[in-house]
Amino acid sequence: MKLERLITKGVQREIPIEIQILLWNMQSRLRKQQKEIDYLQVYRLQALQKDLQLIEHTAEQPFYKMSYYCVVENAVTEKVYIIETDYNTKLVETMLLASEY
């Protein structure tokens, strides 16, 4: 199945590219680890310092929770969703700010 990934203008404007890549990598890793993942993945980003990022990744069904600390150029505080839509021939993952939902 073909995978297509999209981001909204809000993500493009507010989330540094290095953090976007981290979130996509977390999504890919989870998909490899688990047979089924929730269509809605939640990433709570918290800037602990200018260059220290906390990422809390959660999902409801099946329950999933993981926290990551990483050094980035510009840490941000924001809530990001990755929503998965299955169109039979392709899987579309859309990254958006919670405020855009």
Give Cβ neighbours of residue 88 (< 8 Å, ≥ 6 apart). Answer: none
Residue type for 83, please?
I
Give yes or no for residue 46 having a pLDDT over 90. yes
The span from the CA of 18 to the CA of 73, in Å, is: 8
Residue pLDDT, tens place only, 62-98:
999 999 999 999 999 999 999 999 998 999 999 999 9
Grade residue 13 by pLDDT with cuts at 50, 70 and 90: very high
Angle made by CA atoms 66, 10, 41, in degrees to the nearest 5: 25
